[in-house]
Structure 1
Amino acid sequence: MAAYAIFFSYTPQAWARMMVKAEDRAAAARAMIESAGGTLESLYYMLGDRDGFAVVHVPTNEDVAALSIAIASSGAFTHVESRALVAPQDLAGVLEKAAAARGAYTPPGE
């Protein structure tokens, strides 16, 4: 299964509801991801531009797209962004493909 990072930011209203009723949001995320045939590796909150991120494993790009749309459509988030992850052991293959593609590309004006 492919790995993805899903970055998110909550609405102020979602934060307010969580302050009133603190609960395990990882359980809710896990249930949603498992419904798409995936698994939740980790969920972290952070300071900065985004409120947190999850590392998920799902079968296809369509599955992560569906999860992103489902999350965004809930109304609890101001931002949802999915990024494909490349494992260190896979980087050599990616670089080989990049070199082949670069060799076939002619920059503008050349």
Structure 2
Amino acid sequence: MPFYLFQGRYTADAIKALVDTPQDREAGARPLIEAVGGKLHHLFFCFGDDDVVALIEAPDDAAMAACALAVGASGAFSGGKTTKLMTASEAMEAMKGAKSAAASYTPATG
């Protein structure tokens, strides 16, 4: 299954709710991801532009999009993004494909 990195920013109301009533958001996220056939590997709270990041394995892009849409529709996040990840082995296959395809490419010239 493909891997995805989800990065999200909570709304002020969601942060207030977490401060007022501390809760395990990993336990909250896991059932959603499992409902689309995926697996939550890690969920981290973090400093910086994002409040939370998660490493997720999902059956395909449609399943991961379903998760992201459900989270977005919840109103708990003010923004976020999902990045599809490749293993080193998958990246090497892409590199091999690029090597063979490179001869077919004509770059722009001045």
State the TM-score, normalizing by the size of structure 1: 0.92
CA–CA distance in structure 2, aligned partners of residues 16 and 61 of structure 1: 32
Measured against aligned partners, the alpha-carbon deviations of 1:26-52 in whole angstroms (never above 9, x if no partner) come to 011001000111010000111111112
Counterpart of 1:99, as a letter, is K
Deviation above 4 Å: which 4+ runs of structure 1?
none
Q: CA deviation at 1:78?
A: 1.0
Change over 3 Å in CA distance of 1:90–1:51 after alignment to 2: same
Q: Kindly report the root-mean-square deviation, in angstroms, between the aligned alpha carbons of the 2 structures.
A: 1.4
1:105 positional shift: 2.2
Name the counterpart of 2:54: 54
How far is the alpha carbon of 1:79 from its aligned partner? 1.2
Tell me the percent identity.
31
Count of residues in correspondence between the two structures: 110
Q: List gaps (5 residues or longer) in structure 2.
A: none
- When the two structures are superposed, what TM-score results if normalisation uses the length of structure 2? 0.92
Deviation, 1:5, is 0.5
What corresponds to 2:70 in structure 1? Answer: 70
Map 1:1-110 → 2, pairs under 5 A = 1-109=1-109
Q: Which runs of 5+ in 1 are unaligned?
A: none
Is contact 1:71–1:80 with CA below 8 Å preserved after alignment? no
Partner Cα separation in structure 2 for residue 33 and residue 5 of structure 1: 13
**Partners of 1:36 and 1:27 in 2: how far apart?**
16
Work out the CA distance in 2 between the residues paired with 1:102 and 1:9. 39
CA shift digits 1:27-85 (9 cap, x unpaired): 11001000111010000111111112100111011111111111111111011211111
AA in 2 matched with 1:67: C
